[in-house]
């Protein structure tokens, strides 16, 4: 998981702030104008004109990304690029002159990509600052040891930068935090045991760093209200703490790509509100507990030491699941016997490296929004020539199975295909895929393989 819900929350807040922007004043405070223009002067490239409306002598409250809720004073600053649009980024540094914006309570710098420099020290000199989102830049260096001086902050995100070193223990002084996101940096050391002083914390994201050791005991104090706990893609170890089963409000739990070992606590059955669970790429062992959830949205148990034998009933009965990943989970069943409560919502399926037989045709032909289907390294046996695909399907991996028949022309609409090591035969349709996508079959021919014999 990649804290997508967290990001959605952020962008929703930004949109609301923009909508709240009142009728603009004819002038703006000279300190605010000077601070904003100094920030603009520190930007060396603005290819899409994000700051084009920032012009000296015009009302800065009317500039793009500026919110003024107290007369002529700037209260929120939003500068964001579009992560999927090349050239919508800024290059340069963040000017310390933003300290002139003394009424600022929210900074939202997101997806600007090429902003460099250390942790912005001017944040310490903004007495009304409550919301800080400085995401997806190239800021680097250590987090300041006195970061706890930002004690008025309620939401703090530095996701997607290049900060290094440990989390300073003074961060325990941020007692008003409801959201803390330090994901996607290069932080290291152990996660400090500082969460008892954060009774309002609902979102905790520390994924994609280099943290080691165990989860700190004080995380247990967050049980009443924590909704997001994401610590995937670190070097954490030990057993999964039993205290996590007391997180009755928990929506998302991501412990993936660490070195957690032992069994998943049986008490996880108490997580009745869990919607997104990712325990993949650890060293976890049987038995996996049955969960009593009304519906799970995404589940990833791949690449542990589980021997599930079948897809669990509590998964099959979920009416809302869109992502199911059970690669190398010791499943030995036929897809013909799998009858999910709902096909409609599935977007991503990965059942690779099991001993699954039967045919996925019913699944591939009935789902409306399927984007990715992976089932490499199984015992699937069916006629591929009879497959039809959802128009949304982009990735199909059926390699190392017992698939026979012809490759249908409809595969040309996919972005990624692998049907190697099967029993397919006949002339290939015209596609953009390399020879490796079709290698190791009985008698396929035509580009990119050898010409068909006349």
The strand ranges marked E within 197-353 are: 203-205, 210-213, 228-230, 235-239, 252-254, 259-263, 276-278, 283-285, 298-300, 323-325, 348-350
- Provide CB contacts within 8 A for 35, sequence distance 6+: 95, 97, 98, 99, 100, 101
Residue 188 · residue 164 · CB < 8 Å: yes
- Does residue 84 register a pLDDT over 80? no
* Cα atoms in the 13 Å half-sphere on the side-chain side of 46: 15
What residues form DSSP beta bridges with 15?
none
Across 400-428, average pLDDT: 97
Tokens describing residue 162: 């290049």
Q: How many CB atoms lie within 10 A of CB 225?
A: 14
**Whole-angstrom Cα distance, residue 120 to residue 123?**
6
Give per-residue pLDDT as tens, 387-398: 888 889 999 999
Give per-residue pLDDT as tens, 300-339: 999 999 999 999 999 998 888 999 999 999 999 999 999 8
Give per-residue pLDDT as tens, 23-72: 444 478 999 999 999 999 999 999 989 999 999 999 999 999 999 988 89
Q: Would you give the distance in Å from CA 85 to the centre of its chain?
A: 18
Residue 376 · residue 353 · CB < 8 Å: yes
Which pLDDT value is given to residue 169? Answer: 96
Q: What CA–CA distances, in Å, run from 111 to 86, 87, 268?
A: 11, 11, 36
């Amino acid at each position: 998981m990649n804290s997508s819900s967290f990001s959605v929350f952020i962008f929703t807040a930004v949109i609301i702030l923009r909508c709240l922007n009142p009728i603009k004043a004819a002038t703006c405070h000279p300190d605010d104008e000077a601070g904003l223009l100094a920030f603009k002067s520190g930007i060396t490239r603005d290819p899409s004109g994000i700051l084009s409306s920032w012009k000296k002598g015009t009302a800065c409250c009317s500039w793009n990304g500026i919110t003024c809720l107290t007369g002529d004073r700037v209260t929120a600053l939003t500068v964001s690029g579009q992560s999927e649009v090349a050239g919508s980024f800024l290059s340069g540094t963040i000017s310390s002159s933003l300290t002139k914006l003394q009424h600022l309570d929210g900074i939202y710098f997101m997806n600007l990509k090429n902003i460099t420099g250390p942790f912005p020290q001017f944040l310490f000199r903004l007495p009304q600052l409550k919301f800080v989102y400085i995401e997806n830049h190239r800021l680097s260096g250590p987090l300041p040891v006195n970061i706890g001086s930002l004690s008025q902050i309620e939401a703090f995100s530095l996701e997607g930068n290049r900060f290094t070193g440990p989390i300073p223990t003074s961060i325990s002084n941020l007692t008003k935090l409801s959201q803390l996101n330090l994901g996607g940096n290069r932080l290291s050391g152990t996660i400090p045991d500082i969460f008892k002083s954060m009774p309002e914390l609902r979102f905790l994201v520390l994924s994609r760093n280099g943290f080691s050791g165990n989860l700190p005991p004080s995380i247990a104090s967050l049980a009443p209200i924590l909704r997001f706990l994401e610590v995937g893609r670190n070097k954490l170890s030990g057993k999964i703490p039993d205290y996590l089963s007391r997180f009755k409000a928990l929506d998302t739990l991501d412990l993936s790509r660490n070195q957690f070992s032992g069994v998943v606590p049986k008490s996880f059955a108490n997580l009745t509100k869990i919607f997104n669970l990712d325990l993949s790429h650890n060293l976890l062992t049987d038995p996996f507990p049955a969960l009593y959830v009304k519906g799970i949205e995404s589940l990833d148990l791949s690449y542990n030491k589980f021997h599930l034998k079948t897809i669990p009933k509590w998964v099959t009965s979920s009416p809302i699941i869109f992502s199911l990943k059970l690669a190398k989970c010791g499943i030995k069943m036929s897809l013909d016997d799998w009858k999910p409560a709902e096909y409609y919502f599935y977007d991503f399926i990965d059942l690779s490296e099991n001993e699954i037989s039967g045919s996925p045709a019913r699944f591939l032909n009935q789902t409306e929004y399927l984007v990715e289907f992976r089932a490499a390294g199984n015992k699937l046996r069916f006629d591929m020539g009879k497959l039809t695909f959802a128009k949304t399907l982009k990735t199909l991996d059926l390699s190392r199975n017992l698939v026979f028949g012809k490759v249908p022309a409809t595969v040309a609409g996919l972005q990624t295909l692998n049907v190697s090591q099967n029993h397919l035969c006949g002339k290939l349709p015209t596609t953009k895929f390399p020879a490796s996508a079709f290698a190791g079959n009985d008698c396929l021919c035509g580009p990119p393989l050898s010409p068909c014999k006349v």
